[in-house]
Amino acid sequence: MATVTTPTARPTGAELEEALDDGITRVRVNGVDRELAIDPDTPLLWALRDELRLTGTKYGCGIAQCGACTVMMDGQTIRSCVTPISAADGGIVTTIEAIDSPEAKAVQEAWVAIDVPQCGYCQSGQVMSATALLTENRKPTDIDIDNAMAGNVCRCATYVRIRQAIHDAAKKLEA
Ligand code: FES
Ligand code: FES
């Protein structure tokens, strides 16, 4: 996994205007500036997977209902399957391949320690959402976790282990 520290602020002023004006999507992905000459309606998910070969982000439903495609854009989790690449123009995107904050590391270690995944398909989205939760709330309750993770569906029903791993990661961050 790449370890890239990713800034979370969009460019402003002349830099942003250039990014928005010429039909080319400029987006910083995992700390690397990219230029994408593709249909502006292309979902960000397919730009990541097909153009940039970042296949850790998964396609599940395509209608913002399962969370498999979750990535960070400008510091917020988004569903990349319903986010056109034009919305990412001038933006900063981080995928599962490059999350490296203390919260992300704690989540990934907790995931491994109790062997959360079953088939694994949903898990990059789960890890992105769990990381976002702990970034905002270092001591989530069960209800906080259930609310934050409600948009991430797991067909293997790993929900109990996900909840435990988030609590374990929170404890590790406290220590
Ligand atoms: S593939 Fe995006 S939410 Fe399901
Ligand atoms: S681990 Fe199989 S869908 Fe979640």
- Residues with Cβ within 8 Å of residue 166, at least 6 apart in sequence: 107, 110, 130, 133, 134, 140, 145, 149
How many angstroms does the Cα of residue 14 sit away from the middle of ligand 1? 34
Q: Is the pLDDT of residue 3 over 50?
A: no
| Top-level class of domain 102-174 | mainly alpha
The two beta strands, 92-94 and 70-73, are antiparallel
Q: Is the pLDDT of residue 88 over 80?
A: yes
- What is the per-residue pLDDT across 98-154, written as a single tens digit (0 to 9) for each? 999 999 999 999 999 999 999 999 999 999 999 999 999 999 999 999 999 999 999
The two beta strands, 76-79 and 25-29, are unpaired
Ligand 1 first shell, C-beta below 6 A: 59-62, 64-69, 79, 81
Mutate to test the pocket of ligand 2, among 149, 152, 158, 160 (most ligand atoms within 8 A of CB): 158
Ligand 2 atom index nearest CA of 118: 1
Residue found under tokens 């320690």: 113
Residue 159, ligand 2, Cβ within 6 A: no
Q: What angle do CA 116, 83, 10 make, to 5 degrees?
A: 95
Alpha carbon distance 3, 101 (integer Å): 9
- What is the per-residue pLDDT across 14-58, written as a single tens digit (0 to 9) for each? 665 655 567 799 999 999 999 999 999 999 999 999 999 999 999
Query: Start-end ranges of CATH 3.10.20.30 in the chain?
Result: 13-94
The ligand placed nearest to the CA atom of residue 44 is 1
Tokens of 154: 């797991």
Query: Start-end ranges of CATH 1.10.150.120 in the chain?
Result: 102-174
Q: What is the CATH number of domain 13-94?
A: 3.10.20.30
